[in-house]
Structure 1
Amino acid sequence: MKKSILLFLIYFQLQAQSYPDFKPLRFDENYEVLQKDTVKKNWYKTMKHIPLSSSGKTYLSFGGEIRYQYFYVKNEKWGDDPQDPDGYILNRLLLHADFHSSKYYRAFIQLQSSNANGRIDPSPVDSDPLEVHQGFIDVNVISEKNKKLIFRAGRQELSYGSQRLVAVRDGPNNRQSFDAVKAILGFNNYRADFFYSHYVVAQDGIFDDYSNKKRQFWGSYFVINKIPAIKNIDLYYLVYYRENANFDDASGKEHRHSVGTRIWGKYEEWRYDFEALYQFGSVESKDIKAWTASLNTGYRFTSVVLHPEIGFKFELISGDKTNGDNTLNTFNPLFPRGAYFGLASVIGPSNLVDFHPSISLELSKNIDWVIDYDMFWRYSNQDGIYGPNTIMIYPGDSTTAKEIGKQLESEIIYTPNQYLYFRFEATWFKAGDFLKAAGTGKNMFFTGVTTQIKF
């Protein structure tokens, strides 16, 4: 079996070519370039561009992804969840077909199969055997080099900015999608998205995911590039409505508005990403007044051996100030990337102070070694701590202690080419005073191996 897998990987690498690059959103890929390719086609090129007209502008393209992961956790949820001495295996299969009829019409469909083997009480985030993950149509009203106007309707992934608020949730086993209508406008260095959507709820069955009218999400997102001095800026206004919200000091119908900005870019060896936003609205009878600010920056020493990059991330994320009053200050991260603080994904970005230095080393052209050290505190001792999906982990009334804990993470990433990806990760989480008072408070160890093939 191992020899067969190895031979497949070698054959796949020889057959596949290094263009075009894969995109985080697979529907952003464009294989029209292959219609002009004069080199003899192999099976891979044929799969990526099947002409359906004499001009080749009407064509069909296929692609996908296979991912296997093994994880082992000691003292999951700091000792409060059932313990598994053997670990578990997650696997995910994504297959898509992309049909283009001239440059004005397009249909995209993607199937997803996510399974959890050996996982104690898997959630829909881990297991969703077979679903239509995406299925939408595009009408390109304007399709020019520096201008575009696209109307999109159907089930689709949404991803914006640094994915702090709206993400595909690639880290967990099951990516998330929305039933949405969207308008995409582009002009030179400007892009604007306007959308309205219902969240798609994953179910542990076959073709049973459904559009949840009780969780509605809409808004607009603007990106302006090539600005002097600051390089790039995002501006956005997002609205989230759900009927059954639960926070430490509020529950019921949530109607939340988020207004924010992000400044990001790269200057020589510096990279920077600053984001700030404010939330207002209501949860039942309580007014929402929440906010967050994040700075993520790094500098790479290209003239030094191993090209080390020193990184620094700092986040302030509001929590509820006074339990029992008429105001809720708990920040809601909406639909963030699941593995927000690494694949261990034990804490979500609500009621949090996060101080996060890191170092990244290029061991070789295709091998990176990253070491992160995270320190977590509660922003407010009147509020609890939450998971990435705002489900409460522990309420805040057990202690006034703010220290949640410290997390040391190390990962080695090997990418021999754009088709293959291997990752080994180990995380040690030392429980702080809050976790020891709120629960069992044991130190947690997490390790995992990921193997992924894209085509």
Structure 2
Amino acid sequence: MKNWVLLLVLLISFGCFAQQYPDFKSLRYDENYSFLKNDTVKNDWYKTMKFLPLSSSQKYYISFGGSIRYQYFYAKNENWGDGPQDNDGYILSRYLFHADFHAGKFFRAFVQTQSSLADGRVDPSPVDLNPLEVHQAFADFNVINEKSKKLIVRAGRQELTYGSQRLVAVRDGPNNRQSFDGIKVMTSKDNISGDFFYSHFVVAHDGIFDDHSSKDRQLWGSYFVINKAPIIKNIDVYYLGYKRTKASFNDGAGKETRHSIGTRIWGKTENWRYDGEALYQFGDFASKNISAWTASINAGYRFNELKFHPELSFKAEAISGDKEVGDNGLQTFNPLFPRGGYFGLASVIGPANLIDFHPAVSFELSKTIDWVIDYDMFWRYSSNDGIYAPNTILIYPGDTTTAKKIGNQLETELIWQPNPYLYFRLEGTWFNAGEYIKASGTGKDIFFAGITMQLNF
């Protein structure tokens, strides 16, 4: 109760007294408060926190920030009624705090701690519970730092995210964000930017400062973005390499080395937005050859001239699954390190062996309140493969039935963001189990509800 009261006091304080600053970034290290050296406001504690000069020239400075998030969730028939059940609900809390040190134009160091707690959660996973860790700790060396040309070398523990976050994401939806230990080279010139990186995934544990990078899970690759391209506006081209020593799929277990090559086309006009992506995966798993793929389209049209500015959107995905158990091939797609709430925050299933059709409608009830309603229809792509969680753990095997229908999901969200510092969300999800789910387990329908309160500073 004390934590909730403290959060309420902080919410009121920031909502009433904090002056306006640029919007917070999903990647907090992308924020830049150097403009405050020209700010004439005196005796402002928040300004001092965001820009604390360490030299008379103000070229050396440190910036502090963070976020506090509380969530209450209630789930009836979690995992379709299989496994431990909780009839009382549970509370997730997450605390992120960071310090960002800048030494002129050519060096910076960024450190961030994370504490993710799960109160009342039955058998919490590392995605929910991670008491205290050094989430990020890296140094940037700005070899070239000009307006239209940059070359930056980053070394240390860091968050990674690319494109639509279908393969590499910060995993902000779940309670515990993910990070990597590695080195990254970032380049840009005019409208073209590119990253080259090599990293090891940081494994979360339930102790204090005991997270460590894993040699068992490695990620490397390159990612290029071309902006202001003719007609298509923006295009991404990428290669991602992945190695896991202990992989497991419906068709067996063993060492996995997987390569992903893909492209993404995306853009936005006054009314339209679009995002299309296709990629192919190859490599080897145990003694099998990998040949997997996915293609998706996400488009929406916003009626700006109508009241509440309704937007109609549609998303469709086809994601390959294994064709035959026991042969010398594996066609199961691996989403690598995706955002956790891939098909909504209920996080029922992950993007593997799936066909998904997803219409939605959203309304801007006011400048600070949005209402979203979406409906998802799921089928297995291959009747010989099972379905998987977002972390590729097999939920149900593929041989329980030849039926492909997984189920339908109805979700609604009411989001209120009164200012850049505060965020509230009320949500509800109902998942109607299909024939495959009913044949594979208890097969009950899922109801999921939650409320989120977040403070950014």
Task: Please confirm whether the aligned pair reaches a TM-score higher than 0.5, indicating the same fold.
Answer: yes
Indicate the percent of aligned positions where both proteins have the same amino acid: 70
Three-state SS of the structure 2 residue aligned to 1:416 is: strand
Q: How does 1:242-257 map to 2 (within 5 A)?
A: 242-257=244-259
Q: Which amino acid aligns with 2:375?
A: Y
Q: How many residues align?
A: 455
Matched with 2:23 is: 21
Three-state SS of the structure 2 residue aligned to 1:449 is: strand
Kindly provide the CA deviation profile for residues 379-430 of structure 1, in whole angstroms up to 9, marking residues without a partner as x.
0000000000000000000000000000000000000011000000100000
Kindly indicate whether the alpha-carbon contact (under 8 Å) linking 1:68 and 1:89 is maintained by their aligned counterparts in 2.
yes
Matched with 2:386 is: 384
How far apart in 2 are the matches of 1:193 and 1:53? 32
Tell me whether 1:205 sits opposite 2:207 in the alignment: yes
Matched with 1:282 is: 284
How far apart in 2 are the matches of 1:18 and 1:116? 33
Alpha-carbon distance change, 429 to 3 in structure 1, aligned in 2, over 3 angstroms: closer
Three-state SS of the structure 2 residue aligned to 1:364 is: coil
Matched with 1:54 is: 56
How far apart in 2 are the matches of 1:299 and 1:397? 41
Tell me whether 1:66 sits opposite 2:68 in the alignment: yes
Q: Which amino acid aligns with 1:343?
A: L
Question: Which residue, 328, 333, 341 being the options, matches 1:326?
Answer: 328
Three-state SS of the structure 2 residue aligned to 1:330 is: coil
Alpha-carbon distance change, 69 to 134 in structure 1, aligned in 2, over 3 angstroms: same
Question: Which residue, 60, 83, 104 being the options, matches 1:81?
Answer: 83
Kindly indicate whether the alpha-carbon contact (under 8 Å) linking 1:360 and 1:368 is maintained by their aligned counterparts in 2.
yes
Quote the offset at 1:10 in angstroms.
2.6
Q: How does 1:291-370 map to 2 (within 5 A)?
A: 291-370=293-372
Quote the offset at 1:19 in angstroms.
1.5
Quote the offset at 1:284 in angstroms.
1.1
Q: How does 1:167-182 map to 2 (within 5 A)?
A: 167-182=169-184
Quote the offset at 1:17 in angstroms.
2.4
How far apart in 1 are the matches of 2:259 and 2:5? 54
Three-state SS of the structure 1 residue aligned to 2:345 is: coil
Matched with 1:232 is: 234
Quote the offset at 1:83 in angstroms.
1.3
Kindly provide the CA deviation profile for residues 81-121 of structure 1, in whole angstroms up to 9, marking residues without a partner as x.
21111000000000000000001000000000000000000
Kindly provide the CA deviation profile for residues 177-225 of structure 1, in whole angstroms up to 9, marking residues without a partner as x.
0001000001110100000000000001101101101111100000000
Which deviates more from structure 2 when the two are superposed, residues 432-441 or residues 18-27?
Answer: 18-27
Three-state SS of the structure 1 residue aligned to 2:185 is: strand
Kindly provide the CA deviation profile for residues 346-396 of structure 1, in whole angstroms up to 9, marking residues without a partner as x.
100000000000000011110000001000000000000000000000000
Q: Which amino acid aligns with 1:169?
A: R
Q: Which amino acid aligns with 2:391?
A: N
Kindly indicate whether the alpha-carbon contact (under 8 Å) linking 1:377 and 1:405 is maintained by their aligned counterparts in 2.
yes
How far apart in 2 are the matches of 1:350 and 1:432? 17
Which deviates more from structure 2 when the two are superposed, residues 411-420 or residues 33-42?
Answer: 33-42
Matched with 2:113 is: 111
**Tell me, which stretches of 5 or more residues in structure 1 are unaligned?**
none
Three-state SS of the structure 1 residue aligned to 2:16 is: helix
Kindly indicate whether the alpha-carbon contact (under 8 Å) linking 1:75 and 1:81 is maintained by their aligned counterparts in 2.
no
Kindly indicate whether the alpha-carbon contact (under 8 Å) linking 1:339 and 1:345 is maintained by their aligned counterparts in 2.
yes
What is the Cα-based RMSD across aligned positions, in Å?
1.0
Matched with 1:102 is: 104
Q: Which amino acid aligns with 2:137?
A: G
How far apart in 1 are the matches of 2:47 and 2:422? 17
Matched with 2:167 is: 165
How far apart in 2 are the matches of 1:26 and 1:158? 12
Kindly provide the CA deviation profile for residues 19-58 of structure 1, in whole angstroms up to 9, marking residues without a partner as x.
2221110000000000011123411010000001111111
Kindly provide the CA deviation profile for residues 146-168 of structure 1, in whole angstroms up to 9, marking residues without a partner as x.
11100000000000000000000
How far apart in 1 are the matches of 2:258 and 2:216? 14
How far apart in 2 are the matches of 1:109 and 1:168? 16
Matched with 1:134 is: 136
Kindly indicate whether the alpha-carbon contact (under 8 Å) linking 1:297 and 1:313 is maintained by their aligned counterparts in 2.
yes
**Tell me, which stretches of 5 or more residues in structure 2 are unaligned?**
none
TM-score, normalisation: structure 1: 0.99
How far apart in 2 are the matches of 1:255 and 1:7? 50
Quote the offset at 1:14 in angstroms.
3.2
How far apart in 2 are the matches of 1:102 and 1:52? 11
Which deviates more from structure 2 when the two are superposed, residues 33-42 or residues 48-57?
Answer: 33-42
Moved over 4 A (4+): 1-7
How far apart in 2 are the matches of 1:150 and 1:15? 37
Matched with 2:158 is: 156
Q: Which amino acid aligns with 1:11?
A: S
Q: How does 1:417-432 map to 2 (within 5 A)?
A: 417-432=419-434
Question: Which residue, 445, 450, 453 being the options, matches 1:451?
Answer: 453
How far apart in 2 are the matches of 1:4 and 1:61? 23
Three-state SS of the structure 1 residue aligned to 2:126 is: coil
Q: Which amino acid aligns with 2:431?
A: F
Three-state SS of the structure 1 residue aligned to 2:132 is: strand
How far apart in 2 are the matches of 1:9 and 1:390? 37
How far apart in 2 are the matches of 1:123 and 1:404? 24
Tell me whether 1:438 sits opposite 2:440 in the alignment: yes
Question: Which residue, 87, 91, 94 being the options, matches 1:92?
Answer: 94
How far apart in 2 are the matches of 1:268 and 1:113? 40
Alpha-carbon distance change, 6 to 113 in structure 1, aligned in 2, over 3 angstroms: closer
Matched with 2:411 is: 409
How far apart in 2 are the matches of 1:44 and 1:342? 34
Q: Which amino acid aligns with 1:255?
A: T
How far apart in 1 are the matches of 2:124 and 2:5? 32
Alpha-carbon distance change, 346 to 307 in structure 1, aligned in 2, over 3 angstroms: same
Quote the offset at 1:322 in angstroms.
1.4
How far apart in 1 are the matches of 2:125 and 2:85? 16
